Structure 1
Amino acid sequence: MKKEKKIQPEAIITSHINADFDAISSMLAAQKLYPEAVVIFPGSQEKNLRDFFVSTMSYLFNMENPKNIDFSLIRKLIVVDTRRPLRIPAVAKLLEKEELEIHIYDHHPDKEGDIKADISVVQPTGATVTILTQLIREKSIAISPEEATVMALGIYEDTGSFTYTSTTEADLQATAFLLSCGANLNTISDFISKEIRTDQVAWLNELINEKVSHTINGVEIHISTISSPEYIPDLAAIVQMVMKIDNLDVFFAIVLMEAKVNVIARSRIIEVNVGEILSALGGGGHASAASAGIPGKTLAQVEQELIELLKSHVMPTRIAQELMSTPAFTIKESVTCRDAGMMMTRCNVNALLVSSDDPHEITGYITRHVIEKTGYHQLGHLPVSEYMSTEITTISQNAGLMEIESRIMGEKQRLLPVKADSRVIGVITRTDLLNYLVHRNKNGTGSHHGQNITPQHAKQRNIGHLITERLTPAMADLLREIGRAGDELGVNLFVVGGFVRDLLLCRKSDDIDVVVEGDGIDFARRFILKKGGRCNTHREFCTAVMVLPNGFKIDVASARMEYYTAPAALPTVEMSSIQRDLFRRDFTINTLAVGLNKKNFGTLIDFFGAQRDLKDKTIRTLHNLSFVEDPTRVFRAIKFANRFDFTIGKLTLSLIRNAVKFDFFRKLSGRRLFSELKQILEEENPIPAIESLRNYHLEKVIHPDLIMDDSIIETLGAAQKAVSWHDLLYLNTPCMNWSIYFMVILKKCPYQVVKEICSHLRLSPSQTKLILRDRLKAEERLYILERRFPPTNSGLYALLNIFKPEHLLYIMACTRIDRVRKAVSFYYTRLKDIKPTIQGRDLIALNLKPGRTFQAILQSVLDAKLDGKLKNKKEEIAFVQKHHMPVNPDSMDKSVD
């Protein structure tokens, strides 16, 4: 198992355990003042609040799990809303570090034992976030409406909506400022309308932790069962909070308090009338809210009675039978794609279920879109099992609307089989569901789910504040300048792809890809004319590269659609819109775009669920023929999975195996293959990716006779250590790290195989020499070092001085003898740059005749100097006089400056 690499921040922000909204909002505000710092939540006891913010506001925080942090390098600790050491156990050990710089922001009164800080800002305000808001305002730091909402929420909570006697004028002024920044009072009201005190947070947490889901008559019911030795004030308010935090439709809280079981229920759907249900338990209320007090019974008894009541009172929602189309057209996995297309035409459907030999054992589905592409690529003879979507689930005929919506809309399942008694009786499509929802809404009977369902368009949100915070001012200004140029020319501009992905992942990226809805080449030429620099155009692909005066490059493309004339061929390009342009890309995580025009600057556009896959840390293709059209995407999938520590989705893994099985790489040019392989080898740690290549048998794509066994993987580990050593000590020394890993990969291949690989991959003559002939020389010298270790420094120098850094690191990786590895390291750090001080003119001054002997003389001086016998120029001259001059009294007395 790969050991997760810990992050190494120099500053962290934290607060107290049992964190309330003031603590969390203060951490967010502190992050604005210390953008370089990482936020860590203080402990598990505030899980309810943490889960809410992680699920809805996580993008606002540069947060990290304490387990993933290397605390040894922390130089600054920022603590908010507390000064008590015992309330920050997650970072308590840091307080013992002498060199630690501590900054504290708090509103609590002084107490003995408070943490001593280098900077301590303590004011008697109603909330700590008030203090931080004042500082943000003074420093003119921009905050987004979402950030303003969270910060205002902290003030409202800690001041009791300005009713506590601790409320100050500063709290009101800070709130007014936050409202001017766009704080949403509706959101704040949802959380503050029923005050939850700090001592009640634990009960909220327990209700969430004990929540169990039951599907009764097709409706999802959530029940929590807890006990308390004392009365819990405002339990109804806590129950309402659970509903809002977890977005539940139906929730029952069964709570034993003071020897009596209390049941509080809330419902937001017409299928569950909680007033009617709890009246059967001796309670009452109305359809959406009710309660009951039940003495003399245990929690288990009340829970069981409630479940039985639910079975008889929850209205069955047999929506599946109403929605489904019959019959369900099904084909076997062995049917060819060509025959499947003919069946679709014959039955006038756009998708077919796929089954095993048993027609009721559904294994996937295939769409007309995929079938048409298989025909286009002349793959119609292959079975549908190779390209069908395998991520499919079934539902029962009694399934409710909630479950159907979740499968089709939430999980994006195109076709939903309906079963009864293990038999497929029908199928529900997206069109079936949308037609049903539209019909119900027109008649005013739609459920709360259906009222918000519309055909899937791009998800949008503004991330302008991330551009300001996470990019350099120069980079942010450049994006705005590009947007203004687009406004002047009347074209829409977007920054897309990996740049946006890395922005959301808080990763540094200088590769800007701009897409123009229009003529990208014309835009690039006009922009560079005003900005200065030069423009390189590629009319065939509708792209251009703008090179600014400072050398910075920006790729510009016309929004375009690509199609492939054959598997592994270069794409044919046509002008298109931004949505089609994004759809041509490799993986969902690379399909994000951000508007640059003034009207929508900073608007994130997500057509294909990229944000979801970033959150799930999953690599997914956009369509099932992605690897057929461009097999290099297989290498990119592995590269991204390794770089971001993501997993490859189940269907995408299946498609990778399909591409290997049918060898779609055979028509791939060696140049394109080498480009992708080189990018993998240039990663900080390429070894997991190389192991993935081996696991999928992709090393055979490079050459059928390439040997990549466990010993090669082990040597790659040694190479990674050598490369890291070099990068750490020689930051400014250029070294082609990819070549070191590549030479290790080729280590067990015969000369002819390596020669064929270099030819196939179209390596340049200099790269071929480095990989082929020079590598063999390095292995020869390694053989000598391991068997006849040189007794002198000059002997070591003679063996190694012909090599570039790449080969020296290769030798360090390949040797299993520690003495040899240390010797190569010694040569590189101590001997490599030693040179004689004297030169040819010094020898002439000694009356020596110029000629071939000069080289031998200087070499002997160098050898003596390497062996520590000569320390300065004077000693070098004396050495020459002693060993390389005829005995002559006159010359012995001659001195040279």
Structure 2
Amino acid sequence: MKLIVSHMNLDFDGLASLVAAHKLDPKAVVALPPSLGERVKQFLHLYTRSFEWFTYKQIDWNNVRAITYVDCSTDERAGIASFLSLNEIERSYIDHHQTEATGANITLLLQPIIQNGIKITPVEATLFGLGLYSDTNRLTNETVTIADLEAAAFLHVNGMNLKVIHEFLQAHVGEHPLFETLFNAVDIQTIAEKRIVFSTCIADQYIGDIAAVVEEIHSLYAPDATIVLCQLHHHTYMIARATSADVPIQIVAQQLGGNGHDYAASAICRNEPLAKAYATVHRMLTTCIQVKIPIRSIMHWPVLAFSATSTAAEVFRSSKDSSYKGFPVVNDNNQVIGMLTAAKLKQAIDLNGGIELVSSIMSKKVHTLKATDSIEQGKKMMVENVIGRIPICKNDGTLEGIITRSSIISNQFNHSAHYSASELTRYFGVKPFAFLQKIGELADERNVQVFIVGGIVRDLILNRPSKDIDLVVEGDAISFATTLATHFGGEVQQHNHFLTATWIFQNVSIDFVTARKEHYRKPGALPDVQPARINDDLARRDFAINAIAISLNASRFGDILDPFQGRQQIQTKTISILHPLSFIEDPTRLFRALRFAKRLDFQLSNETKEQAKSMGNALKTISKQRVYHELELSQRESQLPWLFHALSEYPVWETLIGAEMSEYAYTHIQQLFRANVSESIFLAIAAIAYQRHSLTALHAFALTKLSKKLLADIQLIEQHQDETSLDDLHGYLYSVKRDALLFFTTLPNKENELLLRYRKAREQLTPLVTGRDLIALGFKPSPHFSTWLLAIEKRQLRGEIRTKTDALAWISNKINKHER
């Protein structure tokens, strides 16, 4: 076993170095020391599922053969001396204290990560940023090098969240002249359910860097906002910091003539003494504090909850297909009375098969919130109570939804961008944009969340035209579309089976879809769906570039939700699946991925290619009709020959028809398309099968009457393509379709001169005589008619009969024995 360790009293640089070293050596095991810094503890609690690590007590030290030390270089500093009994341990060190090459240790590890093109997640980038910023005093220490700055730029590009970094880092300004004065003057108040710290002072001379004191007080008390008012001569200066965007300190500052942003702002109350300025600011806060992004916006529902009277075994059977780690327990009125963790459930199953009632193994200490509470409240409750999920309840205690650590993390990393009204107007046009605004306003009134989702958002980012407007509704899409029609007019077309509706108003058509999540019972099957939140709806989609949403609600109009970094993938022209089982669940996603790649001039990511190559026999689980449908969509975009070739990089054709596609077959397919054959998809597949002598596999793909006929014709031509005369060929092939002949005459590097002549002659061959002509001559209808007519056509091909008169004369002379 190979370990990665760092120092005792682990700080952010040490933790970041552990995670980065594991990125470079995934087979090594990260071991956390027993003593952690307080902020590191808080970070790990919130992001515990984002990293893999073990405690020292969980390590089998007898099997340790190699150790990498990061941000330290001794066993004592790492706290492992008492665990080691072997001297034959290979040791390596990555410690900036020894080299002084960088300001932070994490920079030493980021350099090979950058050089080797190793991907990192936004959460990892943020942790690495915490290590970098904390160990360099936010890149202001003299030890900072160019490498540190380059590391910061790399982390910024890869999703480093500076707000999270700011929350976890704090300054030390206890020696500031005003620190004691302001600290002693702290007054904590609750305004509109927000915890606000006020502090005031009067100074007789200017003292700089009061902002650092404000930040320190804000960090010490961790309120929703900190407001410091300092009177200097005739003016009072306001410096504000906020943790919650629900406390609009920027608006307060702007109204006082200052400015700032959501989390830091300042202003001067000119010619106002301290008392008057305090009253003014207090009044403003009382009127303008509101929950900007409520928990409802990240809440998951419906919730998988269980009765206290159920047995552990019953819960286990019902929840085994879910990925949830905990479940609310409810009474007969759907009121939350406890929480049951997956760990407790497994323990009960392992102990005695799960015969206990849920009420005996659940936790009765439950922390709940309301849907209108702020996300910051949820985050704070999780950290303070060391819990990973919080039920969301109505005023009467009935269960409405649930939030998890993942909900909090997703929100933190996916609300950093916004489209302005002018940008959306420019793309959609004035009239459709006005409709979107009306939809958002009504959504707020009806307490419904509505989003633009998917391909239209992708096209908006790429500035490509998009024909349709598709909206996703958290809740009942049909009911919401009907409400729109009631308010504004127009017609609603309902599709109850699919939970969708179309609102047609003033010649503008807008589709509404209920947000949903999907569960695949087996590979290739169509999914089971149920209503869900927007995050679940995005998670069910095919690729990151199609899993982006824009809120239409008036309160969040234009906010972008991008949990899978789809915008970054669009910027890098990359197509990535959302999870490793994506192609197993639905193998046709590969067809769509390649179609998007061709249409947008994108590339599949390496990870996506590898997953596609390893999907195994999942393709065998989907119907041939679904394969055809995907190929037909590519045909509409004139991509089909290219797609057939692109699919040859993956085990598609080998799995479907037992034959790989060669360059020879690809050339044949191109020739077929130039010949403008009908049933081009079937004949293209036939080209691959024919080259590998696998025509029998084509029966499963002969889905239409015409394709069945073409397959039979191809097999017939294959049997008789070596005939030596045109009339002999015609004797066997007179009924085959032209496209079946084209299949053979377009074979590359394999010209059959007689077959080519026959095809051309057939194309010019016009029947001279019909059965009616024979009856007119006095012949009685007979099975011999077809034989005679074929004989005439053969002589036409030899040039012996050229006119109808010749044909009728031949009939009269040669068949004089037949009864007339």
TM superposition score category, shorter chain reference: 0.3 to 0.5
User: TM-score normalized by structure 1?
Assistant: 0.43
TM-score, normalization by structure 2: 0.46
Point out the structure with max Rg over C-alpha: 2
